[in-house]
Amino acid sequence: MATLKYSRQRETIKNFLMTRKDHPTADVVYMNVRQDNPNISLGTVYRNLTLLADIGEIQRLRVGDGVDHFDADTSPHYHFVCTECGSVVDLEMDSIENITEIAGANFDGHITGHVTYFYGTCKHCTQKQKLS
Amino acid sequence: MATLKYSRQRETIKNFLMTRKDHPTADVVYMNVRQDNPNISLGTVYRNLTLLADIGEIQRLRVGDGVDHFDADTSPHYHFVCTECGSVVDLEMDSIENITEIAGANFDGHITGHVTYFYGTCKHCTQKQKLS
DNA sequence: TTCCTTGCAAATCGTTTGCATAATG
DNA sequence: CATTATGCAAACGATTTGCAAGGAA
C-alpha cells in the first residue's frame, strides 16, 4: 500500500471537519477551507475526504439527499435527517446495535453491520409547522 | 394535481418490477423492458420509476452504492446488501420498528421513520471466502 | 531522488429535463 | 380538444480522474 505523506491541505480539511458538528458536504468543506487555503481545488478536497474516510479518520454519510456528508466523529452513533430543511444532526440514544443480530437470525450469509438514518422534522421545523 | 393517464410503458415497467425480487436498477429495468418495448427510452424509464415511487406503488432503495434500486414490494421490510457482489436481498426478520421510538426518546424534533440497510457477505460470497 | 499530492480541466456516471410529437380521456 | 406521456438528445450535478508540476521523506 502507498505510504501516506503529510499534506497541509489534508490537515486543514481534517481540522475544519473536527470543528463542525453539522456534517458538511464536500462543497461546504471546500468553501470554508478556501479561506485558509485560497488555492486549494475541489478535486483535492474530494480526494482527501475519500482518503480520510478510507483510512477511518472520518465517516462518510449517505443520508439519501444525493450529496455525501462527512463527519469527523467516527465513534458509533446515529443520525437524524430533517426532511424539511435537510439538516443532519447526531442523535443521543440508547444502543440499537442488537438489530444486526436480529437481522442475522434467519439469514444465510454473514451480516457485519448496518446503516440507519432517522427521518422527520427537526425542532426548528416542527415549531414552524405548528404555527401554520 | 395532475391526473394520471394510462401508459403502456408504465404498465410494462411496473409488471417487470413485480416479477423481480432482486431490486434492479433503472438501467436493468431499461434493458429488460426493451425486449417487449424496443422503442422505450431511458428517460421514460426514469420518469416512470420516479412517478411510481412518488405515488407509493414501488419503493426506491438508496443502498449506498451510488445507484438507485427499485422494489415493487412496498410492504415494510428490510434489505441486506452484499459488500462483495453488490446483491440486494430481502431479509426475513423480527420487527425492529421500535428503534424509531428509541431514537425519539431524547430528541427535540419529530421522528417519523427510519431507513436501515444491513451489510455483509451473502451466502454465496461467504462460501467463496471460506475456500480461499 | 523517489513518489505522494496538488491544481486544473476534462471526463464520468446516474439522473433529469426541454421540446416537439404521440397517445389518452 | 385538453392534457399527460413519450422519445430523443442535451443538460445537470456530484464526484472522479489524467496529467504535468510541486512538495515531502
Query: What pLDDT score was predicted for residue A42?
Result: 98
Q: What does CATH list as the number for B76-132?
A: 3.30.1490.190
Beta bridge partners of residue A121, listed in sequence order:
B110
Residue located via cell numbers 444525493 = A66
* Of B78, B115, B126, Cβ closest to residue A110: B126
Q: Which residues of B touch A91 (CB under 8 A)?
A: 103, 106-107
Q: Under CATH, which architecture does the A1-74 domain have?
A: Orthogonal Bundle (1.10)
Report CA(B67)–C1'(C13) in Å, whole number.
10
Nearest chain A residue to B77 by CA distance is: A103
Residue numbers in B near A112 (CB within 8 A): 83, 119-121
User: What are the extents of the domains in chain A?
Assistant: 1-74, 76-132
Q: What is the reported pLDDT for B132?
A: 77
pLDDT in tens, A3-48: 999 999 999 999 999 999 999 999 999 999 999 999 999 999 999 9
Question: What's the rounded Cα separation, in Å, for the pair B30 and B61?
Answer: 17
List protein-proximal bases of chain C (any atom < 7 A from a CB): 3-10, 14-18, 23-25
In the predicted model, what is the mean pLDDT of chain B? 96
What's the Å distance between residue B30 CA and nucleotide C14 C1'?
13
pTM attached to this predicted model: 0.94
Intrachain domains B1-74 and B76-132 with the same fold:
no
Residues of A with CB under 8 A from a CB of B: 62, 64, 78, 80, 82-83, 91-94, 96, 99-100, 102-126
Q: How far apart are CA A90 and CA A85, in angstroms?
A: 15
CA distance A126 to A132: 11
* Amino acid whose CA is nearest the C1' of C6: A44
Q: pLDDT tens digit string along A44-102? A: 999 999 999 999 999 999 999 999 999 999 999 999 999 999 999 999 999 999 999 99
Chain B residues with CB under 8 Å of A125 CB are: 109
Does B91 sit within 8 Å of A103, measured CB to CB? yes
Do B61 and B79 meet the contact criterion of CB atoms below 8 Å apart?
A: yes
Which ranges constitute the DSSP H helices of chain A?
A: 8-18, 26-36, 42-54, 99-104, 123-131
Predicted local confidence at residue A132, as pLDDT = 76
Look at strands B59-61 and B78-82 and give their pairing: unpaired
SS3 string of B58-69? CEEECCCCCCCE
Q: pLDDT class for B23, splitting at 50, 70, 90?
A: very high
User: Which among B82, B114, B124 is the nearest to A119, CB-wise?
Assistant: B114
Provide, as residue numbers in chain B, all residues whose Cβ is less than 8 Å from the Cβ of A65.
none
Q: Residue A107 gets which letter from DSSP?
A: -
